Chains A and B, each alone.
Chain A
Amino acid sequence: MKPILDFQFMVSIVPEILKVVPITLNITIVAMLFALVIGLITALVRIYKVPVARQIAMLYLSFTRGTPLLVQIYLSYYGIPKLLDYTHAYYGWNIDVNGIPAIVFIYFAFSLNVGAYLSETIRAAIQAIDKGQMEAALSIGMTTWQALRRIVFPQALAVALPSFGNTVISLIKDTSLAFMISVVEMMGEAKILGARGLQFFEVYIVVALIYWMICILVERMIAILEKRVKHFEGGKI
């Protein structure tokens, strides 16, 4: 009888999957950075009730949270080239839409998706900071932006960091959807390897373990970061 798992095969594919880990991390980092900017802007627009921009932000948040990420990826993949083709024809530009690498559409879809979730986290974190902090900053003559940047944001970051951590962990796992538009990240590589000898179970076990390891490492890093960011809360003396 054949053993339930082909361990030799499993060990042999580890390096091949590790080879594409940078792509998974690349999507995670790029999406997270853009998402932070999008989340911060939409959060501020909502907190300060900026007319028009606020309505647009609400629509974006509602749509993004109300549709599956996979659908958003497809919309980005099929929609953006169409839109570009159309505008090119309209303005008479000539850019090769087919030359855009698929990962760009992944960046786009993931940034907007994660941005919507971060928006809520950031808004709650900023509103959790005592209004007196802003007032004290204004009272010595700082501008609202200076007060936000120097006083409110650093404190809000300490509040939001655990949530940010959860978002990063989710994002890492969600990048497994990128293969749906043929970006070969960990999951994509696994499917290719699995198809080679029809050993899907082994491949997915290996991939699961690697995702798990990455998430544990990231959790550790966030815990360290949290300590640093919260240094000012200090102990009573």
Chain B
Amino acid sequence: MLRLQNIHKSFHRTPVLKGISITVQRGEVVAILGPSGSGKSTLLRCINFLERPNQGLIQLGDLVIDAEKVTKDEMIMIRRSTAMVFQNYHLFKNKTALENVMEGLLIVKKLEKAEAYQKSIQFLEKVGLAGRMDFYPSQLSGGQQQRVGIARALAMEPKVILFDEPTSALDPELVGEVLEVMKSLAGEGRTMIVVTHEMNFAREVASHVIFMDEGLIIEEGTAREVFEQTRMDRTKRFLQRIVK
């Protein structure tokens, strides 16, 4: 359903992605692992054009975009069929939890206010935060903010949800509540691409694991293949350092 082909991206002539190709099927949960600076977040951000790849093809459903010739409309179209959950949540600070979820429904999907309200409450309930709907982000804990971030993403009914290190900024005791929500989404058969350092999550939940280093895919396969039948030395060294 989502296909990336030969994605290249450089920042100021420093290559960060050196030709990445991935295919993601509907309902798959793909975990992208790798050391920092390996380009995994950049890759994720290239999918919805928060970074513009210098070269490559991105296909999502019927939409095929050549990164070199991408238009504003195409960028908006791909953003409207994806959603992103950010490392630092990036909730709209001037809006309440409820308004954060409603915003896209009202402005992008152009729903009636009453309908957007009903839907938003449902999504907040799903992440267990309907009781906090009138709180501003500054009044919520990190874990709660991230769950609102997930509700905001879900509300857009995206074909694929992109998670950019969703638990990295959280206090350790708050990581669990966010991972729980993500697991339940995976269980519903949602298509997710997750850049993460949570090896247990990748191992238990991901149907496909990708290991990246220095802008290239070093190894990929099922969680079992990558974690237990690791082929590449680079991956082994990385996993040894992270998984005790």
Contact = CB atoms under 8 A, between A and B. Distances in A.
Interface string B99-115: 00001100110000000
Contact of A237 (B82, B90, B96, B135): B135
B79 A141 contact: yes
A140 B94 contact: no
Chain B interface residue count: which class?
20 to 34
A138 B79 contact: yes
A15 interface: no
Interface stretch (A54-62, A142-150, A180-188): A142-150
Interface in A125-148: 130, 132-133, 135-143, 146
A114 B96 CA distance: 34
A35 to B, nearest CB: 24
Interface in B70-112: 76, 79-80, 82-84, 86, 88, 90-96, 103-104, 107-108
A130 B90 contact: yes
A232 B50 contact: no
Chain A interface residue count: which class?
20 to 34
A142 B75 CA distance: 10
A237 B48 CA distance: 35
A151 B152 CA distance: 15
Nearest to A135: B50
B50 A141 contact: no
A196 interface: no
Given A139-B84, A140-B83, A141-B79, A234 B139 contact: yes
B159 to A, nearest CB: 12
B86 A233 contact: no
B90 A135 contact: yes
A151 B92 contact: yes
A139 B48 contact: yes
A135 B138 CA distance: 19
A127 to B, nearest CB: 16
B79 A133 contact: no
Given A132-B86, A132-B88, A143-B76, A138 B50 contact: yes
Contacts of B107: 142, 146, 150
A161 to B, nearest CB: 13
A152 B86 CA distance: 17
B127 interface: no
A133 B93 contact: yes
A233 B92 contact: no
Contacts of A146: 107-108
A137 B96 CA distance: 15
Nearest to B95: A232
A116 B158 CA distance: 43
B156 A236 contact: no
Nearest to B149: A136
8 contacts: A133-B93, A138-B48, A140-B103, A143-B76, A232-B93, A233-B138, A236-B138, A236-B139
Closest A-B pairs by Cβ, 10 of them:
A141-B80, A132-B90, A136-B90, A140-B104, A139-B84, A141-B108, A141-B79, A154-B94, A232-B94, A232-B136
Given A141-B108, A151-B92, 20 more contacts: A132-B86, A133-B92, A137-B103, A138-B50, A138-B79, A139-B83, A139-B86, A140-B79, A140-B80, A140-B156, A141-B79, A141-B80, A141-B156, A142-B107, A142-B108, A146-B108, A150-B92, A150-B103, A232-B93, A232-B95
